């Protein structure tokens, strides 16, 4: 995915007669920071479509519960022989899950992972 430039957009009061710029949190006075997620959904959908039509995958695992991805998933599965599997939590993502060929619930598999202790680095 290509890097996206951060934009310095001011947060503004929504009262029509005010529109003052807010740069610090009103509660703790810490500087506000913009989220860097703009365009991620479009990039994911573009990658799913491009990679499907370029025959770069047979099965894609989409880790998301976002219903905005459902139309692209339906289109890919209608127009190609590719399949999309949703991996997410049971309580989220019903529309996307219904659009996908299958699903994996994190709730059901997380308990099966066992974290092994990391051995200490050898001393020299």
Structural domain contains residue 78:
yes
Question: How confident is the model at residue 38, as a pLDDT?
Answer: 66
Structural domain contains residue 66:
yes
- State yes or no: pLDDT of 11 exceeds 90: no
Structural domain contains residue 115:
no
Range of the structural domain that residue 105 is part of: 37-109
Distance CA 107, CA 111 (A): 8
The domain spanning residue 55 has which CATH number? 3.40.50.1010
In tens, the pLDDT along 47-58 reads: 999 999 999 999
Distance CA 47, CA 76 (A): 11
Q: Which two tokens stand for residue 24?
A: 């610090």
Q: Environment class of residue 77 by beta-carbon count within 10 Å: exposed (0-12), middle (13-18) or buried (19+)?
A: middle
**Which range is most confident: 14-28, 36-50, 90-104?**
90-104
Question: How confident is the model at residue 35, as a pLDDT?
Answer: 66
Structural domain contains residue 23:
no
Query: pTM of the full predicted structure?
Result: 0.63
Structural domain contains residue 121:
no
Counting the structural domains of the chain, the total is 1
């Amino acid at each position: 995915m290509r890097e996206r430039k951060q934009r310095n957009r001011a947060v503004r009061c929504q009262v029509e007669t005010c529109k003052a710029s807010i740069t610090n949190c009103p509660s703790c006075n810490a500087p506000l920071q913009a989220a860097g997620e703009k365009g991620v959904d479009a990039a994911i959908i573009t990658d799913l479509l491009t990679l499907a039509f370029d025959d770069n995958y047979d099965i894609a695992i989409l880790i998301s519960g976002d219903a905005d991805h459902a139309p692209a998933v339906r289109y890919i599965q209608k127009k190609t022989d590719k399949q999309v599997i949703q991996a997410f939590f049971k309580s989220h993502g019903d529309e996307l899950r219904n659009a996908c060929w299958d699903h994996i619930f994190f709730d059901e598999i997380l308990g099966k992972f066992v974290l092994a202790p990391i051995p200490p680095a050898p001393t020299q």
